Structure 1
Amino acid sequence: MAEKKIFAGPRVRRIRAGLDLTQTAMAEALGISPSYLNLIERNQRPLTVQLLLKLAAVYKVDLDELQGEAAGAVAHLREIFADPLLAGEVPGEHELMELADAAPNAANAVVKLYRAYREQTARLSDLAALLAQEGHETSLSGARLPMDEVRGRLERRANFFPRIEDAAEAFHARLAPADDLSGALKAWLKAEHGIAVRLLPVEAMPDLRRRYDRHSMRLFLSGRLSPFDQTRELAQEAALLFMGTDILAELDGLGFEGDEARRIARFELARYAAHALMMPYGVFLAAAVRTRYDIDLLRSRFAVSFEQAANRLTTLARPGASGLPFFLMEMDHAGHVLRLAGAEGFPRVRFGGLCPKLNIHSAFAQPSQVLVDRVEMPDGGGFLTISRTLEGPQMPFSERVRRSAVLVGCDIVHKDDVVYGQAAVAAVPAGTACRLCERRGCLSRAEPPVTRPLGLDEMVSGLSAFDFQ
C-alpha cells in the first residue's frame, strides 16, 4: 500500500516555535537531518506516517492537528473574498489554503475584521433608515458598486419613462401584431435588419438566455426560456434597435457617470421598453382598470407571465392617465432582494419589505398560489400585498429549479379598487425590518431593535428571543 504523504510544514514550524526548539534540536529528536526538517517546514517534503508517529511520541502532538485541513477557515475566507467589494482581489483555492495553513491567526483576524465590517455596514444602514423616517437625508449607506448605484437610484424614483412609453406605443402601432407579437417582431427584425431568430436547445447554449451573432446576422434564444420570456427577449432586442435614441435620452437623464453603471442602467431601460412594447400603456391601463388590477386576467389578456404583468403595474404613472401606485419586490428563497420598483418609488421608509411576516416568504411554501394580506404598520398605516412564486428558466431533470417570489403592493386606501381587496380581512401586524421595529412579543423577530436596549432580565422571559426594554 502506498505511504500517505501529508504536507503540513507551517504546522510543524508552529509546533517547534511553541516549544522554543531549533531546527537542529528537533531534527535530532526525530532522527532526521536539519536540512530535511527545513524542507518539511517549507512544504517541499511531506510528513510521512513514520514522522507523524515520532512527532506524536516525542512531543505529544495531536495527530489530528497535523492531518486535519483548515477547512473551516478556508470556507470563511472563501465567503469573504466572494464579497463584491473584493471582486478584483479573488485569490485561488491554493492561496486561501496557504493563508489558512501558514498563518491561521492572521486568517482568523481577517474573518473577525470582515464580520465587524458587515455589522458596521448593517448598523449604518439602519441609522440611515431611521434618519430618513425623520426626514433627514444621509449618504451613510450609499452605493459602493455600479449595480448598487443603479438599483438605488431606480428604486427611489418613479418607475416611469415617458419617452420610452411614447416610442413603444408608436412601435406597437407600426407592427400591428394582432395576437402574435412574437411573430411580428421576428418578421420586423428580418425585414428591417436582416436578423433571423432561431431557438437553440439547452445543450447548444447552456449558459445564455440570448446571443446575437453579428457575422451570421442571427439572434439565438435559449430553449430554457418560456414562450413569454422568449417574446421579452425579442422585444428587448427590437426596442434597442427601434427606440435606441429614446432609451439613450432617458439614460442621460438618470445622471450615471461610470461606464459600467450606464451599461447596467441601459439594460434595465431596455427591459422596461420590452414590457412597454408587449403591454402598450393606454391599452394596458384600460384593461387594468376594467379587471380591477387582476394580474392573472391581465397576463392572459396580453399573453405575458405573472411577473411581467406585475412589473407593468408599477409603471402606470403617466401624468393625467395614471393607475394605482403599485410597488413591487422580488426575492429569492434565501431572502436576497432581487428587485425593488414602484410607481412612486419603492416605499422603503414606510413599508421596508424585510419583515418576516410578509406573505412573500410564505409564498415559497405554496408555489403558484396567490397570497393576499392586509399589512398593518406600527405607525397605523397599512398596505395591501399580493405575493406569488415565479419559476425561472426551465431546468433539466438533474438540476434544481430556480424559484423566486414577487410581492406587489399598494396603500390600503386603494383596496376597494383592487380585486384582491375583498380577500384581505384580518390585518397582519408587520414592520419595516426587525432592527427598526419596536413591536413587543413578536414571535417572528430575527434581530433586536437598534432603538431599544435589550431587556436581559433573569427573572422574566418574553415571547421573543430578543426582549427589549
Structure 2
Amino acid sequence: MAERKIFAGPKVRRIRNALALTQTAMAEALEISPSYLNLIERNQRPLTVQLLLKLSSVYRIDLEELQGETAGGLGQLKEVFADPLLSGELPGDQELVEVADAAPNAAGGVIKLYRAYREQAARLSDLTALMAGDDRVPVASGRLPLDEVREVLERRPAYFADIEAAAESFANGLVAGGDLKDWLKNERGIATRILPVHVMPDLRRRFDRHSMRLFLSERLSRADQAQEIATEVARLALRSQIEAALDELPLSSDEARRIARFELTRSAALALLMPYGAFLLAAQNTRYDIDLIRARFAVSFGHAAARLVMLQRPGAAGIPFFLMEIDAAGHVIRKAGAQGFPQARFGGNCPKLNVHAAFQEPERILAETVVMPDGWTFLTIARTLEGPVVGFGERLRRTALLIGCDAALRDSLVYGRSDALQVAVGPACRLCERRGCLSRAEPPLTRPLALDETSAGLGSFDFQ
C-alpha cells in the first residue's frame, strides 16, 4: 500500500519557531538531516507517516493539526473563492493550500470578512422583501441567529452529558500539580501571554496560530483569565463532544451553529474549571454558598453561579436552579435553567425583582422569596457582576445576575435562612393583574383601563 505523503512545511516551521529551536536541533531530534528539514519546511519534501509519528512522540504534536485542515480553514477558503464574485480569481486549490498553511491568521481574516458579507447580504435581502410587502417572507426572517440560539438554549436543560463526562475525565487526567495553562504549553506548544491594554485594546483573548501563543488582556481578572484559558483548552481537547452536542440543537443556519458552538465551548470551559463531582460535593457541603464555592475553585461569582445551573446529571443532580443576567437598562443578556428557564411561570421581567435593586448596592448579595400571581414561590439571589478593568475616563461595565429556584427547596440553601417578607411579583407588567402596584410600568393586556377623571390609583396605570 502506498505511503501517504503530506506537505505541511509552514506548520512544521511554526512548531519549531514556537519551541525556539534551530533547524539543526529539530533535525537531530527527528533523526534527519538539517538540509532535509529545510526542504520539508519549504514544502519541497513531504511529511511521511514515520516523520509524523516522530513529531508526535518527540514534541507531543496533535497529528490532526498536521494531517488535516487547520480548523477547517482550507474548506472555508474554498467556500469563499467559490462565490460567483471570486470564482475566476484562482486557477486551482494549490494557492489556497499555501495561504491556509503559510498565513492562517490572514486566511481566518478573509473567512471572517466573507462571513460578515454573507450575513449582511442575507439581512438586506430580508429587509428588502419585508419593505416590498412580499408575503412569501416568513415571520421569523426578522429574527437574528443570536435570537434563535438564545431561544433554543433557554428552553432546554443547561446540561450536556458528553461534555460533562469528557471534561471531568480530562481534569482528572491532568498531571499532579499541573493546570490548564501547563497543558496548553506541554501538550500543544501554546504559550500564554498577558498583553497590555494599548497592545490589545478591544479583545479579551486571541489565539495566534502563527506564533502558537494565546494572548489575554490585562483588563481581565485572574478568574476571567483562567476562564479564557479553559475556553481555549475546551476548544482543542473537547472539540468532538462540543460538535456532538451542537448537532443535537435544532438550529437553522451556519451562523446560528457558530454562535451556539461558542456558547457550548464556554460551558465546557466552566466544566473544566469546576469538574462535576468535586463541584457538586462542594456545593452541597457549603449549602450552595456561592462565595465559598468560588473561593474554593478560584473562579468568579458569575462563573460559580452559572455552574450551579448545570448540575443535572442523572443520579447526581443538584438543586434545579435557573439564571438570568441583565444590564442597568434592563436588557436581558442571558437566561438558562437546569430544566430550561421557567419563562411561563417565572417570567423574569418584573421590576420588583431584586436583580434590579442589586444595582443600588453593588457586590452585595440580595436574597428574598417572591410570590407569583398563581401562588408559586421562588427563592431568588441577586448580585452585581463587574466587567473588565477600565482606565480613567472609561465607564465600567456592570451587570446583575439573578439565580433562583423553587422556594420549597430553601432549607437546602444558606440563602434560605433569611426571614424577609415575601415580595409579590409578576411575570411581566403586561401579563400581571396585581392592583395597586407601585412599580407597574405598563397596563395589563387582559384588563381594560379605568380612566376616571375624579379619582386615581396608586399605580401609573389603573385598570378595571
- TM normalised by structure 1 equals 0.69
Counterpart in 1 of 2:24? Answer: none
Percent of aligned positions with the same letter in both sequences? 62
Structure 1 window deviating more from structure 2 (415-424 vs 290-299): it is: 415-424
> Is 1:234 equivalent to 2:233 in the alignment?
no
Q: Distance in 2 between matches of 1:301 and 1:226?
A: 16
C-alpha offsets along residues 67-111 of structure 1, whole Å, 9 cap, x if unaligned? xxxxxxxxxxxxxxxxx9999559xxxxxxxxxxxxxxxxxxxxx
Q: Shift of the alpha carbon at 1:460?
A: 2.1
Asked if the contact 1:205–1:222 (Cα under 8 Å) also holds between the matched residues in 2, the reply is: yes
Structure 1 residues 420 and 141: alpha-carbon distance in aligned structure 2, compared to 1, 3 A threshold: farther
Q: Shift of the alpha carbon at 1:185?
A: 1.6
> Is 1:158 equivalent to 2:157 in the alignment?
yes
Residue identity in the other structure for 1:290: N
Residue identity in the other structure for 2:291: D
Structure 1 window deviating more from structure 2 (162-171 vs 456-465): it is: 456-465
Q: Shift of the alpha carbon at 1:151?
A: 0.3
Q: Distance in 2 between matches of 1:455 and 1:293?
A: 46
1:405 partner SS = strand
Asked if the contact 1:382–1:411 (Cα under 8 Å) also holds between the matched residues in 2, the reply is: yes
Q: Distance in 1 between matches of 2:222 and 2:122?
A: 35
Q: Shift of the alpha carbon at 1:280?
A: 0.4
> Is 1:170 equivalent to 2:208 in the alignment?
no
Q: Distance in 2 between matches of 1:177 and 1:200?
A: 28
Q: Shift of the alpha carbon at 1:332?
A: 0.3
Q: Shift of the alpha carbon at 1:142?
A: 9.4
Structure 2 matches for 1:213-228, cutoff 5 A? 213-228=208-223
Among 277, 281, 287, the alignment partner of 2:276 is 281
Structure 1 residues 420 and 86: alpha-carbon distance in aligned structure 2, compared to 1, 3 A threshold: farther
> Is 1:310 equivalent to 2:310 in the alignment?
no
Counterpart in 2 of 1:40? Answer: none
Counterpart in 2 of 1:351? Answer: 346
Counterpart in 2 of 1:185? Answer: 180
2:410 partner SS = helix
Q: Distance in 2 between matches of 1:426 and 1:261?
A: 43
Asked if the contact 1:328–1:340 (Cα under 8 Å) also holds between the matched residues in 2, the reply is: yes
RMSD: 2.2
2:303 partner SS = helix
The structure number with the bigger radius of gyration is 1
Q: Distance in 2 between matches of 1:441 and 1:349?
A: 23
Asked if the contact 2:152–2:250 (Cα under 8 Å) also holds between the matched residues in 1, the reply is: no
Q: Shift of the alpha carbon at 1:425?
A: 2.5
Q: Distance in 2 between matches of 1:363 and 1:147?
A: 27
Structure 2 matches for 1:59-458, cutoff 5 A? 144-176=143-175, 178=177, 184-458=179-453
Asked if the contact 1:185–1:235 (Cα under 8 Å) also holds between the matched residues in 2, the reply is: yes
Q: Shift of the alpha carbon at 1:144?
A: 1.1
Q: Shift of the alpha carbon at 1:141?
A: 8.1
Q: Distance in 1 between matches of 2:120 and 2:427?
A: 27
In the comparison of the two structures, how many residue pairs are matched?
336
Q: Shift of the alpha carbon at 1:191?
A: 1.6
Q: Distance in 1 between matches of 2:167 and 2:446?
A: 48
C-alpha offsets along residues 346-385 of structure 1, whole Å, 9 cap, x if unaligned? 0011110000000000000000000011001100110000
Q: Shift of the alpha carbon at 1:143?
A: 7.7
Residue identity in the other structure for 1:382: T
Counterpart in 2 of 1:461? Answer: 456
Structure 1 residues 373 and 294: alpha-carbon distance in aligned structure 2, compared to 1, 3 A threshold: same
Q: Distance in 2 between matches of 1:165 and 1:406?
A: 24
Query: What stretches of structure 1 move > 6 A for 4+ residues in a row?
Result: 84-87, 139-143
Q: Distance in 2 between matches of 1:337 and 1:87?
A: 26
Structure 1 residues 334 and 177: alpha-carbon distance in aligned structure 2, compared to 1, 3 A threshold: farther
Residue identity in the other structure for 1:151: R
2:151 partner SS = helix
Counterpart in 2 of 1:21? Answer: none
Structure 1 residues 143 and 162: alpha-carbon distance in aligned structure 2, compared to 1, 3 A threshold: farther
Q: Distance in 1 between matches of 2:346 and 2:223?
A: 31
Q: Distance in 1 between matches of 2:419 and 2:244?
A: 42
2:146 partner SS = helix
Q: Distance in 2 between matches of 1:88 and 1:316?
A: 38
Q: Distance in 2 between matches of 1:403 and 1:422?
A: 28
Structure 1 window deviating more from structure 2 (280-289 vs 254-263): it is: 254-263
1:378 partner SS = coil
Structure 1 residues 284 and 140: alpha-carbon distance in aligned structure 2, compared to 1, 3 A threshold: farther
Residue identity in the other structure for 1:269: L
